[in-house]
Amino acid sequence: MTQLHENLITPEQAITLDGLFARRVKRSPEREAYRTFDRRRKEWQSYTWQAMADQVSRWQQALIGEDLQPGDRIGVLLRNCPEWVMFDQAALSLGLVVVPLYTDDRPDNVAYIAKDAGLKLLLIQDLGRWQRLEPSLPENHDIVVLLLEGGDNARTAAAAEPRLRYVPDWLPGSASTLRVRHGADPHALASIVYTSGTTGRPKGVMLSHHNMLSVAHSVSMRVPVYQEDVLLSFLPLSHTFERTVGYYYAVMGSVTVVYARSVSQLAEDLATVKPTAMIAVPRVFERVHGRIQETLRSQSPVKRKLFAATIDVGWARFEYQQGRRGWQPKLALWPLLERLVARKVQERLGGRVRLAVTGGAPISPEIARFFIGLGVPLVQGYGLTETSPVISANCLETNLPASVGRPLRNLEVRIGKHDELQVRGPGVMKGYWNNHQATAEIIDNDGWLHTGDQARIDDQGFVHITGRIKDILVLSNGEKIPPADMEGAITLDPLIEQAMVVGEGKSFLSALVVLDGDKWPGFAQDQGVDPLKASSLSDDRVEHAVIKRLRVALKDFPGYAKIRRVTVMLEPWTVDDGLLTPTMKVKRAKVLERYAEQVADMYRGS
How confident is the model over 528-579, as pLDDT tens digits? Answer: 999 999 999 999 999 999 999 999 999 878 777 889 999 999 999 999 899 9
pLDDT at 606: 63
User: What percent of the chain has pLDDT above 90?
Assistant: 83
pLDDT at 2: 61
Q: What phi and psi values does residue 207 have, to the nearest 5 degrees?
A: -115, 135
In CATH, which of 1.10.8.10, 3.40.50.12780, 3.40.50.300, 1.10.3720.10 is domain 14-35+48-184? 3.40.50.12780
DSSP 278-325: EEE-HHHHHHHHHHHHHHHHTS-HHHHHHHHHHHHHHHHHHHHHTTSS
Over residues 77-98, the mean pLDDT reads 98
Mean pLDDT score of the chain, rounded to an integer? 94
Confidence category of residue 583, pLDDT binned at 50, 70, 90: confident
How is domain 472-603 classified at the CATH fold level? GMP Synthetase; Chain A, domain 3 (3.30.300)
Confidence category of residue 81, pLDDT binned at 50, 70, 90: very high
Over residues 136-155, the mean pLDDT reads 91
- pLDDT 10s digits, 97-130: 999 999 988 898 899 999 999 999 999 999 999 9
**Three-class DSSP category at 547:** helix
How far is the C-alpha of 428 from the C-alpha of 385, rounded, in Å? 9
Confidence category of residue 266, pLDDT binned at 50, 70, 90: very high
**Taking 70 as the threshold, does the pLDDT of residue 223 lie above it?**
yes
Which carries the bigger pLDDT value, residue 2 or residue 442?
A: 442
Confidence category of residue 419, pLDDT binned at 50, 70, 90: very high
Over residues 135-140, the mean pLDDT reads 84
pLDDT at 197: 57
- Which residue from 456, 354, 475, 351 is spatially nearest to 413, judged by alpha carbons? 456
- pLDDT 10s digits, 452-486: 999 999 999 999 998 888 777 878 776 778 788 88
How far apart, in Å, are the Cα atoms of 582 and each of 110, 301, 452, 468?
11, 41, 20, 20
**Taking 70 as the threshold, does the pLDDT of residue 497 lie above it?**
yes
pLDDT at 190: 98
Over residues 191-198, the mean pLDDT reads 81
Which carries the bigger pLDDT value, residue 197 or residue 604?
A: 604
**Three-class DSSP category at 483:** helix
Over residues 140-147, the mean pLDDT reads 89
How far is the C-alpha of 389 from the C-alpha of 187, rounded, in Å? 16
Domain with CATH 3.30.300.30 in the chain: 472-603
**DSSP β-ladder status, 355-358 and 277-280:** parallel
**Taking 90 as the threshold, does the pLDDT of residue 342 lie above it?**
yes
pLDDT at 87: 98
Strand-by-strand arrangement of the 420-424 sheet: 412-415, 420-424, 449-457, 463-468
How far apart, in Å, are the Cα atoms of 461 and each of 119, 456, 551, 579?
43, 9, 34, 37
Over residues 277-304, the mean pLDDT reads 91
**Taking 60 as the threshold, does the pLDDT of residue 1 lie above it?**
no
Strand-by-strand arrangement of the 189-194 sheet: 164-166, 144-147, 121-124, 73-77, 97-100, 189-194, 204-208, 431-432
Domain with CATH 3.40.50.12780 in the chain: 14-35+48-184
User: What percent of the chain has pLDDT above 70?
Assistant: 98
pLDDT at 312: 98
Confidence category of residue 286, pLDDT binned at 50, 70, 90: confident
How much is the pTM? 0.86
**Taking 80 as the threshold, does the pLDDT of residue 11 lie above it?**
yes
pLDDT at 99: 98
Confidence category of residue 493, pLDDT binned at 50, 70, 90: very high
